Amino acid sequence: MGISLYEISLIYNDLLFLFLHCSPALLSSMAPMFFPSSPRFNPAMGRGNARAFSILIAVVLAAAAAGSLSSAANVYSVGDGAGWTIAANYSSWASGKTFRIGDTIAFIYNKSFHNVLEVSKADYRSCNAAAPIATHATGNDSISITRYGHRFFICGFPGHCAAGQKLDVRVPKHLSGVPPSPSSDGSQASGGGTGSSPAASAPGSVAHGEGGAESIRGFGMMIVAIVAVASVVVLH
């Protein structure tokens, strides 16, 4: 479950408003729900207390956002159990995924028979391996998604790209939970080839949860707890 910066700003503003406008008695009454042994509070709420509360909430939400972003990142094993080989349909595989910035694409293959070249769109379409953007050849290559748009990958071994060993990874700029479209050329993989890759086990392709309202609902109880804690720290 990912949390956007926009959602974090909404939560922050709501908490600050609650702190500044709720009665001291209400804030005081909330803490015993979480901390039965907490003392009663000083009802004075000066400008310094508001500033301290603002800093406290900013730190808490930043930590929560970092944890959320970390937990939301997925690792996709290209081809799933088939791995990176000529005997797989990567257009179909990619069409069922919603790639996001922060995710990782793992290429698992037999390095004696395959490699991974990141190429331009034109070279992807023509299966030209002469001028790759980057070359990977370890047999277990993890590539992080760091930007929006398309990234194109092919196998540089002769005939493999033409046989379908090519992948178009698309990260849409405006995510709405809709999976990305298949590779632009709609290429289909065919069987056969000069080598084979062993079946590989890698972290699963777990789909992202929908953000937005679900994220905010998940923070509902945490908001109450934060207000109670902040009241103990700042108002006492």
pTM over 0.75: no
Tokens describing residue 157:
């071994």
What is the model's pLDDT at position 137?
A: 96
Q: Rounded to whole angstroms, how far apart are CA atoms 224 and 226?
A: 5
DSSP H stretches of helix in the chain: 5-21, 24-34, 47-72, 90-95, 121-126, 212-218, 220-230
What is the model's pLDDT at position 67?
A: 54
What is the model's pLDDT at position 73?
A: 81
Q: Tell me: the pLDDT tens digits for 58-98? A: 666 666 655 555 456 899 999 999 999 998 999 999 998 99
Q: How many CB atoms lie within 10 A of CB 59?
A: 10
Q: State how far the alpha carbon of 46 is from the alpha carbons of 20, 29, 59, in Å.
A: 9, 19, 20
Q: Of the segments 25-39, 75-89, 221-235, which one has the largest average pLDDT value?
A: 75-89
Distance of CA 21 to the CA centre of its chain: 36
What is the model's pLDDT at position 214?
A: 43
Q: Tell me: the pLDDT tens digits for 166-205? A: 999 999 886 533 444 444 444 433 333 333 333 333 344 4
Q: Rounded to whole angstroms, how far apart are CA atoms 162 and 85?
A: 12
Q: Rounded to whole angstroms, how far apart are CA atoms 73 and 103?
A: 5
- Please say whether the beta carbons of 160 and 86 come within 8 A: yes
Q: Rounded to whole angstroms, how far apart are CA atoms 147 and 127?
A: 23
Which of 131-143 are b and which e, b meaning 16 or more Cβ less than 10 Å from the residue's Cβ? Answer: ebeeebeebebeb
Q: State how far the alpha carbon of 15 is from the alpha carbons of 9, 43, 110, 207, in Å.
A: 10, 18, 54, 31
**Percentage of residues of the chain with pLDDT beyond 70:** 43
What is the model's pLDDT at position 32?
A: 57
**Percentage of residues of the chain with pLDDT beyond 90:** 40
